[in-house]
Amino acid sequence: VSPTRHPYERRLMESDPTYVVSWDIFKTNAFPYLEVRRPFILGTRKQQWKATLGHWFFDLLEQHTNKLTRVYTQNIDGLFYQLENLPRDKIVDVHGTIANVSCESCGSSMALDDFCEKVQTNIKDIYQIDETAPVESKPIVCESCQKPTVKPTTVLFGRNLPEEFWVHAEADMPSTDLLLIAGTSLVVSPANSLVYRASESAARVLINREAAGQDLGLEFNRAGNR
């Protein structure tokens, strides 16, 4: 377990592990987040996990129809960035992504490769998998503001969603004629608001193992288009 500046940090994380990904902890001690995420960060750079057929379906939509307005994803794995034909400006990472890196303090970006090199040499491996990892963690400092708050752009508890979500949703939804909703329980807000922010005439198609979103206005019958 990482050393902490305040004893209450350890108590918080022991009582609720989600504090590891909270702004309250990260702004004073980045090590818990970076150590827990270390294998995921390094694995993302190596593309240890591959885009699925579900991801490639949207690549084909873009390539063959040119009618895809945007992909909104709640997943932080960055798998959509592996697609060959889907422009990055058509991907909205609602909860951020491991595949992009910036400073939580000043917003300056850092290349994923550069960040991963620092993670490899500065952040210890609490899972004891990587024999080349350092014994103790050292700060990864932002080159712009000199603060040790550089991390993947995943949204911490206590922080706002990316501005691009709100900007694109406001621009995209009123003119949407087909909203494809895939692999979600539709219980997480505000991402689930896209269901009712789409135009009234837009067809909603849910691709899921079970019905979801009835409380958001989705209707599952032959007559409905929602």
Query: Which positions are annotated as active-site residues?
Result: 95
Q: 186 in helix, strand or coil?
A: coil
Give long-range contacts, CB 8 A cutoff, 24+ apart: 59-67. 59/83, 59/84, 59/85, 59/86, 60/85, 62/86, 62/87, 62/90
Q: State both tokens at 178.
A: 């087909």
Q: State both tokens at 159.
A: 């922080």
CB 124 within 8 A of CB 35: yes
The interaxial angle of helices 31-45 and 112-122, nearest 10 deg, is 130
CB 6 within 8 A of CB 24: no
How far is 41 from 46, CA to CA, in rounded Å?
Answer: 9
CB 117 within 8 A of CB 111: no
Residue written as tokens 């058509």?
90
